Amino acid sequence: MRALLWPLFGCLALFAAGCMGTAVPSAVPSAASVPRSPAPAGREQPTAAHELNGADSAYARSEYAAALAGYARAKREPTTRLQAQLGVARVQLMTGDYKAAAAAYEAFSSATVDRQAEAALIRADALRRTGNPVEAEGFLRELSQRNPSRALRVAHCETLLALGRRGECEAVLSPVLNDYNEERIPSEAGRELAMVARAAYLLRSPEEANDTFNEAEQTLTQDSQVLLWRAELFLERYDPGHAEEVVSEVLRIAPNHPEALVWMAEVKLAQSFDFAEARRLAERALLVNPALTRAYFVLAGIALRDMLLDEATAYVQRGLALNPEDLELLSMQASVRFLADDHSGFAETREHVFKLNAEYSRFYQVVGEYAEWEHRYEDIVSMMSAATQIDDDDARAHAQLGLNLIRSGNDRAGLTSLRRSFAKDPFNVRVFNTLNLYEEVVAKHYVDVPGKRFNLRYSKEERTILERYVPALLDDAWERFERYYQFQPATPVGVELYAERESFAIRTSGLPQTAIQGVCFGRTVASMSPRREQFNLGMTLWHELAHVFHIQLSKNHVPRWFTEGLAEYETLVERPEWKREQDVELYDALRNKRLPKVSGMNEAFTHAEDLGDVTVAYYASTQIVRMLAENYGRGKLREMLLLWGEGKRSEQVFQIALGLSSEQLDAQFADELKRRLSRYDGQFIPVQRTGNPDRVRKRVRSEPRNADAHARLALLALQSGDDEAAGAAVAEALKLSRDLPDALWLSAQLALRQENHSLARSLAERLVQLGKDGYETQLVLARSALMAKDGSSQEEALLRAHALDPSQAEALHGLLTLARSNNDKGGIEKSLVGLSRLEEHNGGVFQELMDFLLHSGRAKEAVSVGSAAVFADMEGVGTHVTFAKVLAAAGENTRAEFQFESALASPGEGSDKANAHLGYAEFLKATGRAARAEEHVELARALAATAARPSR
């Protein structure tokens, strides 16, 4: 059984700097190995050698202006002239003066072999970067015939790959590999070993590359180029964490290294889609090297993920003006044309790319990445099929083809492609994990149930209980959506329910971690089952099935914000409890200007810094769709989907369907929010979101006198459980601003943690005196009163909090606890009813409300509560038993028996099952089936005895 999950290589492979010890001698001297500056004034003037060393040191630290000045001084002496000229060329290459860098080679035609090779590498790189790979290849081919440099051979292969001549690489690199295999490279020659590793990587031998990089690292220290090669390999293997380590090692020594800055931007995108940081890093790289086309590639990609097509095009054009043959930028240009539905523009760019490089299958991988962002799953299958036709040895293309075939419901073909990918590259963690899931988990522990409308997948242990509810729920949703949208999607639709989060995560992304409950791929829906986690399965499946209609009706063109908002709207109009309550978070986003305009609402998803931001994006989108449905009717929502399906841009869709410009729609939504959220205008809403932790810390360093910055740092520490750091930050905030409300509130939170109720109360009272009353202020008063055992004050504060914000649940939970302790039946009922409207995922609330109503003689009222309860707790034995008793009391015996049977089909502990059998026995006896009742009594006794038996 395959056991690998994540990270793919860890500390034993791929030379992670943080795992492998010190890192190595570079072609560029390290900052630690050379003097940092010339001799102080007043002493003997530095020699040319000292000037050269100082310039090399400045270059290593990425102080390029200082390096140029030092090299200029070193060039005055014949003994250091050539080496200084080489240094100048290195700086010119690093800072984008490619023409001058290429021309520098002429001075080295009669130099030593080593210096000539270094200068040749610079020239070849400069030629490639300016769109002259053919000239670079001819130059390297001719030179490598008379120069034994392994680095030249590696550069020659890279140039051949850029030209689509992979077949010639093996002959070019075989001398490098032969030297290694025949032990002609000393173990201390780290740089040469790194060339062997790079050669193996270029020849698609990642395991050999990995081993040799590890070997090289034993003697190699701080070589920026090798560290960036490491980052490239890590990112290809879906390990951004280790990629960040090695790029950070470069930037620690050379903070202005432009290529390292761009690689770090790539890392930030791969880790967390941190667009703001990636943009900052790419723009910073361009300040050092305005001709670095990969920075334009990154910036264009960020814009394209936000569907800012004009901005993406502008970045592409700026890059192509510098290198018209940059294959990645041309692929990005094709991606823009594809998402703009410019079919001729896409085809023209594709044709141009394959004229330049007939083997460039990465073209489809670039386009596919952005197609996936916009739900174009069937298009991705076509693209990856084309990629594998171009290059059957492209393991990544086979991987993407396989993963997307599975997403489209074609498991058999998808697994075939994944196995081909794995045979070519066994180090692709997504392929490894997905194959392991299907071969070792799905094949052994799941069952597929085909049907005309749905193909269902259940865990074998859950099938019995889930089949009692899921098919009927899906059919109900399908019929409603079919009526609403006047459309029937392609069938069958795959619906897969996974009992383990790891399995669900791997099914959706190939990696074993995810925070979501469900996902839709257009023709396939995957979701967690309720086996391990408490959530509302009914709401989740209803939401995801709605996406099937939206994606297919819009021909995969619906913007993410609209389909998410519309799917949420479908749940809340189906059942009143199936809705989110995030008014306060939405208000906070609005007041802090974090909410984009409607036309750019996708940015609320793409620029989210944490899961909280994503949930606010869902909620904001829901409110927009809700407003449109209420103001213009549901028919307009369908019309908008159809218009997007015709290839219309959002501005056109708004104008045609609604008769509004995006500015008018923004104004309408702003008015809607102002009306809906007006209750918060006079309330104190404390800071509850930090955003990116690194930015919080950086802000404190850059603004040490800013009290708000210290308050946010305190919140960050509080959320991570570091009370000591939180206390220090709060104290600093209050020292700078003694009545800062956020700092007072945070200080009160700390006091509550330390059970200092009198201090917490006094801080909350101070907030009230300052005019900063609000829900959270009253919660502090309620918690401090609870600690002081002052029930009257606690109840008063909780009632005040609930009145200030009825959409939040904590005050109601407090009131429920008080009502129970006082045996206040009216208070219990009121609190439970309120909570049942707010906590759609909390099956315990529904069960308790059912039980309360049943014992109050109001079984008929409890029936509707039970109908909601089964979706929130589908595998809860107690929920089914209580609902069964409610139905029996209401005279609905057939439904009651169904629920008793559901209780017995659900997983559960022995005592729970014993109670279910006893409850069923009572029901059977009451309905005249005494013999069967006795059977269940005996089963209950057996379960009780088993539960009571001590374990060995």
For every residue of 573-642, DSSP letters joined together read HH-TTSS---HHHHHHHHHTT-PPPGGGTHHHHHT--SHHHHHHHHHHHHHHHHHHHHHH-HHHHHHHHH
CA–CA distances in Å: residue 510 to residues 392, 399, 483, 661: 22, 10, 36, 41
Residue 518 binned pLDDT confidence (cut-offs 50, 70, 90): very high
Task: Judge whether residue 531 has pLDDT over 50.
Answer: yes
Residue 194 in this model has a pLDDT that exceeds 90: yes
- Each residue's pLDDT tens digit, 322-380: 999 999 999 999 999 999 999 999 999 999 999 999 999 999 999 999 998 888 888 99
Residue carrying structure tokens 């200068």: 119
Summarize pLDDT for 723-765 with one digit per residue, the tens. Answer: 999 999 999 999 999 999 999 999 999 999 999 999 999 999 9
Asked whether 778 and 763 are in contact (CB, 8 A), the reply is no
Cα-flanking dihedrals φ and ψ of residue 61, to 5°?
-85, 5
Looking from the CA of 436 toward its CB, the CA atoms found within 13 Å total 21
The pLDDT mean for the chain works out to 91
- Give yes or no for a contact between 220 and 15, defined as CB atoms under 8 angstroms apart: no
Q: Are 273 and 240 in contact (CB under 8 A)?
A: no
pLDDT of residue 948: 62
Report CA 414 to chain centroid distance, whole Å: 24
pLDDT digits (tens, 9 = 90+) for 880-914: 999 999 999 999 999 999 999 999 999 887 889 99
Percentage of the chain beyond pLDDT 70 is: 95
Under 8 Å between Cβ of 511 and 435: no
| Statement: residue 286 has pLDDT above 70 | yes
Angle between the N-to-C axes of helices 327-339 and 309-322, in degrees from 0 to 180, rounded to the nearest 10? 160
pLDDT at 45: 63
Q: How far is CA 7 from CA 11, 169, 369, 441, in A?
A: 9, 31, 21, 20
pLDDT tens digit string along 793-835? 999 999 999 999 999 999 999 999 999 999 999 999 999 999 9
The Cα–Cα gap between 98 and 75 comes to 20
pLDDT in tens, 541-551: 999 999 999 99
Phi-psi region of 273 (alpha: psi -120 to 50; beta: other; left: phi over 0): left
Identify the band that residue 947 occupies on the pLDDT scale cut at 50, 70 and 90. Answer: low
User: What span, in angstroms and rounded, lies between the C-alpha atoms of 565 and 678?
Assistant: 22
Could you read off the pLDDT of 70-118 as tens digits, one per residue? 999 999 999 999 999 999 999 999 999 999 999 999 999 788 888 999 9
pLDDT at residue 407 above 60?
yes
Per-residue pLDDT tens over the stretch 762-790? 999 999 999 999 999 999 999 999 999 99
Residue 733 in tokens: 């905030």
The Cα-based distances of 5 to 16, 414, 501, 804 in angstroms read 18, 20, 13, 47
pLDDT at 7 exceeding the cut of 60? no
Mean pLDDT within 259-269: 96
Q: What is the pLDDT of residue 220?
A: 86
Angle between helices 258-272 and 78-95 (to 10 degrees): 30
pLDDT in tens, 617-634: 889 999 999 999 999 999
Measured between alpha carbons, how far is 252 from 264 in angstroms, rounded to an integer?
A: 12
Residue 13: pLDDT band by 50, 70, 90 thresholds? very low
Q: How high is the pLDDT of residue 36?
A: 40
- pLDDT tens-digit profile of 827-860? 999 999 999 999 999 999 999 999 999 999 999 9
Token digits of residue 428: 């692709």
- In order of 3, 40, 408, the CA distances from 417 in angstroms are 20, 66, 14
Residue matched to tokens 């308050």:
711
* Under 8 Å between Cβ of 258 and 295: yes
User: Residue 612 carries which side chain, given as an amino acid letter?
Assistant: G
Supply angle C-alpha 453, 459, 463, rounded to 5.
Answer: 65
